[in-house]
Amino acid sequence: MYKTPAQAQEFFKSFLPLVANHERDEIVVCPSFTSISVVVAAATGSGVAVGAQNMHFADEGAYTGEISPLMLKAIGPTHVILGHSERRQYFAETDELINKKLKAALSHQLIRSCAWEKSWPNARPAKPTKCWCARRARSGRHHGRRGGADHHRLRAGLGHRNRQNGHVADRRRGACGDSREVAKVLGQPTADAVRILYGGSVKPDNAASLMAEEEIDGALVGGASLDPQSFAKIVNY
């Protein structure tokens, strides 16, 4: 919940020149709803994609304050983040609700970043990780289209973070590997193709070491993405 439309526009004026020649990675920026139209306009022709931070599962209805997939599609974003830990923690979103959103995103051909993540008051306990991720994967099993026909549209975020100090968890390699393993419940093609995006205190000074991990395919960047110089350094690590 940062940046007015004017601030988002200023961000892109600074950010786009810093990544203008970057072709190695897919770059997606997900602003607040009020800035999406401005960001779509600013990003047009740049190669940077735009997404939303959340959406409702229904196309329309008496859901005051919600944003539908049809509304998103109408203003241009191609991606959407679903099930972020803050949505679970502060807004009580459940596996069942996120499953409905995932189904809606699939039907509207929005590329999903599904955050299979859990933030703990302290460091993540040693055992629950694989079991917890497996439950996330199974809850979306029928969205893999029987063997992963739609796996190219799925990104899985695996967040490890100590909320008290923002340190990257030491067990990231094992947990991300677990995520890949349990994704097999969606079918082997999906497990092979799904991108594991690591989120949790990703910064310019640790981006290279994180991306060197075998099972980490990208980053879901939080606070470090608010500054164009900082975010560009992560992109160009």
pLDDT of amino acid 124 = 42
pLDDT of amino acid 150 = 54
pLDDT of amino acid 201 = 86
Whole-model pTM?
0.80
Placement of tokens 């629950």 in the chain = 128
pLDDT of amino acid 236 = 95
Could you list the mean pLDDT of each consecutive 10-residue stretch along the chain, which spans 237 residues? 98 97 94 97 95 97 98 96 90 91 91 58 42 52 44 55 46 60 72 80 94 88 96 96
Q: Extract the tokens encoding 8.
A: 């988002």
DSSP state of 185: G
Q: 224: helix, coil or strand?
A: helix
Cα 98 from Cα 61, distance rounded (Å): 18
Cα 132 from Cα 143, distance rounded (Å): 18
pLDDT of amino acid 137 = 54
Q: Top-level CATH class of 5-235?
A: alpha beta
pLDDT of amino acid 182 = 61
